[in-house]
């Protein structure tokens, strides 16, 4: 078993990992920037070490400083959380070279899945349905043939992309060249890789993702799905599990294909396969080789602690459950609480002058903020996640509405009221919404 874990992250996810470590009897090291000296994860860890100035580039993305911190504190494991370096192949390689356990998949799997073109090839080989696409965008004739075959609209995507960067939707054939050039420039700036490809653009899909868990002994299980269709500019706002759309037959069908694909490459740890779902058809988009922000809704409906399982898998432990042992019970919803204006979405850093989080049966708050805490302007605006659980979706929504009403955060702007409006809308109540929901919602 790993004895000491350095948590290479901040905020609520650092606190989430710390709590799992404590329950497993594992010592923790918190890293922090100068701006996060008074952060909750720093206060609660067994040890803490500053890795640089406020900017993420100089601290949470500073690989030499993080490796030095792990060496100085004799950490034998590093948990990357999500974001920052969690899907950085070179970071995982360097950790492996230092004989420290990276709590995640092998660096080679990060490399394969980090390139969306390579990831689609793996899925195609294992008969996981993918969106029709064209990888070679240097040949105009091939582009014309592709568009003739599948029709418009199409979407240009960055091979190393994520978060909506390097993406352009094309509705007219004479716009394709500009879209490709523009996407390549943005991809180069964002990911230092200007490779892009084309895909059929689905107009009204749901965003459905499948959670998998694997060990180093070839055992793989799936833990159901999450519906992540409520999103703004490709950033998720609300997630729920299970999806209202999937039948047990459809769920098993896609889950079995996902298991086969991750088994084929010898994957270990947690991972998420993301799909667009339209007209009862799944289309693979990408695989995230890390813990997802929205992992709590899966934990609530399965009763399985994903962070603990991640650590146990990295320690070489065998899974203690089979697919037959896993069942989804009840319904769970997560609202991402962001420090931002609910209408303009402008980030709102500053001091929290009053703080009261909701509680009661079936209410979970994953957050690292507290009264008197100053939200720094240097990082992502998400300051917490509110998760509710109930026997069915209707009760879960009612519980979420009650919990949002109880949530008090003063001194900064938050999107709490926006979440209330969304979950009480007719579209959300009925479950009849897709990824375009926020573009028409007011």
Which residue in the list 10, 16, 226, 290 is annotated as catalytic?
A: 290
Residue 290 designated active-site: yes
Residue 350 CA to residue 364 CA, distance in Å, equals 24
Residue 393 CA to residue 22 CA, distance in Å, equals 32
Residue 63 CA to residue 80 CA, distance in Å, equals 11
Q: Which residues contact 190 (CB under 8 A, 6 or more apart)?
A: 158, 161, 165, 166
Catalytic residues: 290
């Amino acid at each position: 078993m790993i004895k000491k874990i350095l948590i290479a992250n901040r905020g609520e996810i650092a606190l989430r990992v710390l709590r799992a470590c404590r329950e497993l009897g594992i010592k923790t090291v918190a890293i922090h920037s100068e701006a996060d000296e008074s952060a909750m994860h720093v206060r609660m860890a067994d040890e803490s070490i500053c890795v640089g100035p406020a900017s993420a580039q100089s601290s949470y993305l500073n690989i030499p400083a993080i490796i030095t911190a792990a060496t100085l504190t004799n950490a034998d494991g590093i948990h990357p959380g999500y974001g920052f370096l969690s899907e950085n192949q070179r970071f995982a390689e360097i950790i492996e070279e230092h004989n420290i356990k990276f709590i995640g998949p092998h660096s080679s799997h990060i490399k394969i899945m980090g390139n969306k073109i390579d990831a689609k090839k793996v899925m195609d080989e294992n008969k996981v349905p993918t969106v029709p696409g064209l990888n070679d965008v240097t040949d105009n004739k091939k582009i014309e043939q592709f568009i003739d075959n599948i029709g418009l609209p199409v979407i240009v995507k960055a091979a190393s992309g994520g978060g909506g960067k390097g993406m352009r939707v094309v509705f007219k054939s004479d716009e394709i060249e500009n879209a490709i050039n523009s996407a390549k420039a943005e991809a180069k700036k964002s990911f230092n890789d200007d490779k892009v490809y084309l895909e059929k653009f689905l107009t009204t899909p749901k965003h459905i993702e499948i959670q998998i868990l694997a060990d180093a002994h070839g055992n793989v299980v799936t833990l159901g799905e999450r519906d992540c269709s409520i999103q703004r500019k490709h950033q998720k706002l609300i997630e729920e599990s299970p999806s209202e759309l999937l039948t047990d037959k459809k769920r098993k069908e896609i889950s079995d294909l996902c298991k086969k694909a991750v088994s084929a490459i010898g994957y270990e740890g947690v991972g998420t396969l993301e799909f667009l779902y339209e007209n009862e058809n799944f289309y693979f988009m990408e695989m995230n080789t890390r813990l997802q922000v929205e992992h709590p809704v899966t934990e609530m409906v399965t009763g399985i602690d994903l962070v603990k399982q991640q650590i146990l898998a990295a320690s070489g432990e065998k899974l203690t459950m089979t697919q037959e042992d896993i069942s989804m019970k009840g319904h769970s919803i997560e609202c991402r609480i962001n420090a931002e204006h609910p209408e303009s979405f402008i980030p709102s850093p500053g001091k929290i002058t009053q703080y009261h989080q909701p509680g009661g049966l079936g209410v979970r708050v994953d957050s690292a903020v507290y009264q008197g805490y100053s939200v720094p302007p240097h990082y992502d605006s998400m300051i917490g996640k509110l998760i509710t659980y109930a026997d069915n979706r209707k009760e879960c929504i009612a519980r979420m509405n009650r919990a949002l009403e109880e949530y008090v955060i003063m001194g900064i702007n938050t999107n709490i009221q926006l979440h209330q409006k969304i979950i009480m809308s007719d579209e959300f109540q009925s479950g009849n919404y897709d990824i375009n929901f926020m573009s028409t919602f007011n």
